Structure 1
Amino acid sequence: MSSAGGPAIGTITTEVPARLDRLPWSRWHWMIVVGLGTVWILDGLEVTVVGNIASRLSESGSGLPISDSQVTGLGAALYVAGACSGALVFGWLTDRFGRKKLFLITLAVYLASTAMTALSFSAWWFFLFRFLTGFGIGGEYAAINSAIDELIPSKYRGRVDLIINGSYWLGAMGGALLSVLALDTGIFPENIGWRLTFALGVVLGLVILLVRRHVPESPRWMFIHGQSDGANAIVEGAEKEIEEETGAPLPKAGRAITIEQRRSISFVEIGRTLFRAYPKRATLGFSLFIGQAFLYNAITFGFSSILVKFFGVSSGTTGYFFAVIAFGNFLGPLLLGRLFDTVGRKKMISGTYILSGLLLFVTAWLFDQGWLNATTMTVCWCVVLFFASAGASSAYLTVSEIFPMETRAMAIALFYALGTAAGGISGPLIFSGLTSSGVVSDAVVAFCIGAALMVAAGVVAVLFAVDAEGKSLEDIARPLSQRTKPTGRPAGPPSAPAV
């Protein structure tokens, strides 16, 4: 069956999911990781640079009439608001028009907005393009996580997703060290250095765009949306490349599903699926995002101010401390990621959330007692965030794999937007107010709020997390378009051509 203005729509039987899941790790998968995953480095660079240059932007010679609290408060909140808005808009478009079209568009939005931020001449211009930069980054979360999970074999999906999301902290390291160089007035004038940090983001984004052009569309999205021939061609190409690389034939997939293709899904059906069909999973996703969003957005945007106000660290050297913290953050997903595929999702998600929250309570108490200095505070944060970063990365993994294929990008966008709006917009505003007071007990309150939310999210994970390790996405959440249960029979009766 077909209709004008688009590909033919009908009922097909396909082995595409099973064929993708049985692939061994290869250069083809590395290309996907590099092309899609590296955008988190840009996000980390963006957020960290702004946090570390806040003090410099507020100085009279910066060329930008703006205060420290405006940068870390209003500017941070607008960036996150843009990310929430972009996630929702591009999330819906990603489910409707495909992963590849949107992950090219979202990166272009980021590039243009970051370039305009570097040219800021007034506070309103800076705020506008911080919002639009976030708008592009938010769209990236939905498009990229969808594509990654649909292209990576089930055996490796957990660790790959965590490490990719954790690569945010490589960007944070780069942003922290870059800010040290850019803020050195012996090298760059104070009204130029901070602009160059944003310009570097544009350069890195252009490099990523060149690689990303070669990343394929998701075959899973294609066969549901009437592009079964294209889906088959992509998988065949990957199989041929991998067989040539390994020198051995691939095993038979031996598993098929029957799909009634569709062009789009309504918001009503998305909402009904997420909240009526999967209420426990929806509660889980919301809780995980609130916990990590408040902790990370609040602390990341305010860390420089903490070092300067409470420990007397020079604004030009805070980047060194943050680079150390960022490295600890990256080590968490890197070293713990494999355990999410072996020990299991439920144990690792709940464990990392609860443990990081408890450690944050301990850090807050030590800080309140006056027993910390800039170095020991940094050590405490490294320990807390080693576990918290693995947990936070698992939030994106969770919402991208526990809902049906047709709602995946919108589910990521919705829970990211709801959780981040609750914790990521209010977090920076509340936290900047508490830390800017210069009163230790005020900052301790902010730490305890973040810790409590992380522990609460961990408890929700104990109750509702899904044992998704090693399972096909179609087994974790049956596609809305699926009309028969998966079979072990060869795909494709004559009336339903195999793909």
Structure 2
Amino acid sequence: MPDTVVPSRRSLASRLDALPLTRRHLRILTGSGVGWALDAMDVGLISFIIAALAQQWALTPGQLGWIASVGFIGMAIGASVGGLLADRYGRRQVFAVTLLVYGIATGASALAAGVTGLLILRFIVGLGLGAELPVASTYVSEIVPARIRGRLIVVLEAFWAVGWTAAALIGFFVIPASEDGWRWAFAIGAIPALYAVVVRWGLPESPRWLAGRGRITRAQRIVETFERDAGIVLSPAINKEPDTRPVAVTTAARLATLWNQEFRLRTLSIWLVWFCVNFAYYGAFIWIPSILVAAGYDLVRSFGFTLIITLAQLPGYAVAAWLIEVWGRRTTLSVFLVGSAVSAVLFGTAGSTGMIIAAGMALSFFNLGAWGALYAVTPEIYPTSLRGTGAGWAAGVGRIASIFAPLLVPVMLDAGGAPLVFIVFSAFFVVAAVGAWGLVDRRGARLDDR
């Protein structure tokens, strides 16, 4: 197509938002998404591995709960620290380091000789994993065009379903195949360590972050590469002014700003939603294979059911990706959370194999669609200088819930069985749906239009 000449006095942010979707955007989306999928594969694998270790190592429910939860302790710390580091050192650098940390620790987990060693390694895995997810969503949201930003973040989150499906396939084919199947599963999880090199050298830094740090020339060069791909030619004058005025420039100032008058309600609401969604999601999906085994299904059949349930995540993401630019962020998020609440009750009270699979697929559909909307809205509610910190601390607070949920599931199972467990999860989804209405809806708006 012919080149289009546009005035260069527009800000970097305006130029990024005005771009059409290019192959370079898709390369960034795919590059970040593969890292996202590998994260999901690691988290998903542990749900299958603990079901196998329960039999092989004769572990108690309490020990299994700690194996599931210790990674989330690391994730809570990693998310909080990772967001701060991303605002200080850049999105791409932190993204690559997090992949390297958890990839190496996951591979080392294959050599664990006992529960203590496995717990230590799972904590280290959590540090990397917790930091990666909010940093990746922040990174992509700062580069893609505003009019389709929400949709593309949901597509990014959809890579989670790809990773979780890979974990289900490994759980179905690899883990039951031999006594060391769970070790081979961990070894496969070491792939992110290699992918970190691709991320470090193959993706650009966020131009918005660079501009906010005063690195205008480098930011200009990156934006110009996108414009050349789109056939856009600038007039000679170049705008050297930063796009945004930082609202906070130090770590302490960033943390304090989360609770000033402008952002207080947003922060409270997003922390509440993240906490409740994490509690219900990880409490349910980490334990589903083990709950099915306890219900009388053998290991292979339980893993097969979980694989079928997992496949429903992809259409959930697809519908959420469409609705988020039609209904907006808050409505889409709250509707999918209500759907998750209803599905959780149906799953917990299911009395037949067909009902278990149907309700489980509905839970997957609605819950993962809600996750897509949540990751889309989180980085949008804060300005660039605060975005990594805001997203990271919201995720960190959420991870606190994911620490306790797997530990509480055995207690709730003893007290009232699967019906009580999933009624509790349903209540958390309802609270999250209400909390979503305290968020601002930034559909189509520039990221720093506050």
Q: What TM-score, normalized to structure 1? A: 0.83
1:325-350 superposed Cα distances (whole Å, 9 cap, x missing partner) = 11112221122212101221122112
Deviates most, 261-270 or 33-42? 261-270
Indicate the residue corresponding to 2:374 in structure 1: 395
Letter in 2 for 1:332: G
Structure 1 distance, partners of 2:63, 2:158, is: 25
Alignment of 1:426 with 2:397, yes or no, is no
Deviates most, 70-79 or 403-412? 70-79
1:141-196 superposed Cα distances (whole Å, 9 cap, x missing partner) = 232111111011111111111121132121111111111222334xxx30x21111
| Map 1:154-173 → 2, pairs under 5 A | 154-173=146-165
1:54, 1:71 within 8 Å by CA — same for their partners in 2?
no
Work out which of the two has the higher radius of gyration on C-alpha atoms and give 1 or 2.
1
Q: Residue 394 of structure 2 is aligned with which of 391, 409, 415?
A: 415
Indicate the residue corresponding to 1:213 in structure 2: 201
Indicate the residue corresponding to 1:203 in structure 2: 191
- With over 3 angstroms needed to count, the CA separation of the structure-2 counterparts of 1:87 and 1:66, relative to structure 1, is farther
2:17, 2:145 within 8 Å by CA — same for their partners in 1?
yes
Alignment of 1:84 with 2:76, yes or no, is yes
Letter in 2 for 1:285: I
Secondary structure at the counterpart of residue 38 of structure 1 = helix
Alignment of 1:240 with 2:228, yes or no, is yes
Alignment of 1:459 with 2:434, yes or no, is yes
1:308, 1:314 within 8 Å by CA — same for their partners in 2?
yes
Q: Residue 35 of structure 2 is aligned with which of 36, 39, 46?
A: 39
Structure 2 distance, partners of 1:33, 1:162, is: 11
Structure 1 distance, partners of 2:63, 2:373, is: 29
- With over 3 angstroms needed to count, the CA separation of the structure-2 counterparts of 1:363 and 1:121, relative to structure 1, is closer
Provide structure 1 residue ranges, at least 5 long, that are not aligned to the other structure: 1-12, 478-499
1:96, 1:263 within 8 Å by CA — same for their partners in 2?
no
Deviates most, 263-272 or 276-285? 263-272
Structure 1 distance, partners of 2:287, 2:63, is: 10
Indicate the RMSD between aligned Cα atoms, in angstroms.
2.5
Secondary structure at the counterpart of residue 276 of structure 1 = coil
Indicate the residue corresponding to 1:489 in structure 2: none
How far did residue 316 of structure 1 move?
2.8
How far did residue 208 of structure 1 move?
5.9
Alignment of 1:355 with 2:339, yes or no, is yes
Structure 2 distance, partners of 1:339, 1:212, is: 33
How far did residue 66 of structure 1 move?
6.0
Provide structure 2 residue ranges, at least 5 long, that are not aligned to the other structure: 1-8
Letter in 2 for 1:397: A
Indicate the residue corresponding to 1:470 in structure 2: 444
Alignment of 1:285 with 2:270, yes or no, is yes
Indicate the residue corresponding to 1:177 in structure 2: 169
Q: Residue 379 of structure 1 is aligned with which of 345, 350, 358?
A: 358
Q: What TM-score, normalized to structure 2? A: 0.91
How far did residue 288 of structure 1 move?
1.4
Structure 2 distance, partners of 1:361, 1:55, is: 23
Percent of aligned pairs sharing the same letter: 25
2:106, 2:186 within 8 Å by CA — same for their partners in 1?
yes
Structure 1 distance, partners of 2:430, 2:245, is: 42
Structure 1 distance, partners of 2:106, 2:81, is: 19
1:289, 1:392 within 8 Å by CA — same for their partners in 2?
no
Q: How many equivalent residue pairs?
A: 441
| Map 1:44-123 → 2, pairs under 5 A | 44-60=40-56, 65=57, 67=59, 69-70=61-62, 72-123=64-115
Secondary structure at the counterpart of residue 261 of structure 2 = helix
1:350, 1:461 within 8 Å by CA — same for their partners in 2?
yes
